[in-house]
């Protein structure tokens, strides 16, 4: 029954976005404290075929390259809500191989310059270490940042720093990636973090959700996408 009401709320969002904006504010506060639930009956072991290799990023993707659904996470590396939500979402993706996770930088002005610096650090970790390097850097940053724009803890030095990483940081490449993604988010009307976009790659239909969303509500959104009238 709870899942029915969550699905109904998502349907209302598509029809009356003004009403849902208020609903999602409440959901963002309420659902932030609920653990994400794995999709019932689906585990990594249940996948029968080996996943194809992930393409080089960006975009940075966690999960199967051939997953039907993509969850795009708009995030700020100084955002405390993102910090608390990221690992929960990543674990949920691991438990649901038909969904992958895509990162989208959105460093908020209130958290600069620390958020921008950390975004560039993660980009360079990906440039040097590929997909695994990027996601490892994001986890390290969230594990060592003070949050709210205060930057990394005193004495925290990224363990993967190499001459190649430093050369990347000294270039304009990571800054251009972060700037482009920030502008794309702004054009899409995304202004807060964490925000999510769920997309059915088979039909290209998508739905946007604000705030940290727990796993059962994500499953309801996926059901909505698959049942939408074409």
Distance CA 152, CA 44 (A): 34
Taking 3-state DSSP, the helix, strand and coil percentages for the chain, each rounded to the nearest 5, stand at 50, 15, 35
Judge whether 228 and 96 are in contact, CB under 8 Å.
no
User: Does 62 have pLDDT greater than 80?
Assistant: yes
Residue 94 or residue 16, greater confidence: 94
Query: What pLDDT score does 227 carry?
Result: 81
Q: Residues 6 or more apart from 33 whose CB is under 8 A from it?
A: none
Return the pLDDT at 178.
Answer: 97
CA-CA distances (angstroms) from residue 3 to 75, 90, 205? Answer: 26, 21, 21
Q: pTM for the complete prediction?
A: 0.78
> Per-residue pLDDT tens for 114-148?
999 999 999 999 999 999 999 999 999 999 999 99
State the greatest distance between any 2 C-alpha atoms of the chain, in Å, as a whole number.
56
Which DSSP state fits 78?
T
The full set of domain ranges for the chain reads: 2-227
DSSP state of 152: B
User: Is residue 46 pLDDT above 50, yes or no?
Assistant: no
Tokens (6 digits) for 101: 């996770």
CA pair distance 125, 163, nearest whole angstrom: 12
| Residue 220 or residue 230, greater confidence | 220
- pLDDT for position 213: 87
- pLDDT band at residue 228 under the 50/70/90 scheme: low
Question: What are the pLDDT digits (tens) for 28-37?
Answer: 333 333 344 4
What's the confidence (pLDDT) of residue 153? 93
Tell me the C-alpha distance between 87 and 148, whole Å: 18
Whole-number Å distance between alpha carbons of 121 and 162: 12
- Tell me the pLDDT band of 230, cut-offs 50, 70 and 90: low
The pLDDT tens digits for 159-214 are 989 999 999 999 999 999 999 999 999 999 999 999 999 999 999 899 898 878 88
Phi–psi pair at 120, nearest 5 degrees: -65, -35
The total number of residues shown for the chain amounts to 230
Nearest to 217 by CA among 28, 42, 17, 43: 28
Q: Answer positive or negative: Cα dihedral of 172, 177, 178, 184.
A: positive
Query: pLDDT above 90 covers what percent of the chain?
Result: 62
Q: Range with the lowest mean pLDDT among 80-84, 212-216, 225-229?
A: 225-229
Cβ-proximal residues to 137 (8 Å cutoff; 6+ apart), any chain:
121, 122, 125, 126, 129, 158, 160
Query: CATH classification of 2-227, choosing from 3.40.30.10, 3.90.940.20, 1.10.10.10, 1.20.120.80?
Result: 3.40.30.10
92, pLDDT greater than 90: yes
Q: Choose among 20, 19, 1: nearest CA to 10.
A: 20
């Amino acid at each position: 029954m709870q899942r029915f009401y969550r699905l109904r709320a998502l349907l209302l969002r598509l029809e009356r976005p003004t009403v849902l904006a208020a609903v999602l504010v409440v959901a963002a506060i309420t659902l932030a404290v609920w653990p994400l639930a794995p999709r019932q009956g689906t585990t990594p072991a249940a996948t029968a075929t080996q996943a194809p290799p992930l393409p080089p990023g960006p975009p940075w993707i966690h999960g199967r390259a051939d997953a039907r659904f993509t969850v795009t996470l708009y995030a700020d590396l100084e955002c405390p809500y993102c910090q608390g939500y990221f690992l929960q979402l990543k674990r949920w993706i691991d438990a649901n191989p038909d969904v992958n996770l895509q990162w989208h930088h959105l460093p908020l002005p209130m958290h600069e310059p620390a958020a921008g610096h950390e975004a560039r650090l993660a980009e360079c970790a990906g440039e040097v270490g590929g997909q695994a390097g990027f996601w490892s850097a994001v986890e390290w940053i969230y594990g060592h940042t003070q949050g709210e724009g205060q930057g990394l803890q005193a004495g925290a030095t990224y363990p993967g720093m190499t001459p190649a990483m430093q050369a990347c940081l000294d270039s304009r490449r990571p800054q251009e990636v972060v700037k482009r993604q920030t502008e794309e988010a702004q054009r899409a009307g995304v202004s807060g973090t964490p925000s999510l976009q769920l997309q059915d790659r088979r039909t290209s239909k998508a739905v946007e959700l604000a705030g940290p969303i727990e796993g059962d509500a994500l499953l309801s959104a996926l059901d909505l996408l698959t049942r939408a009238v074409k």
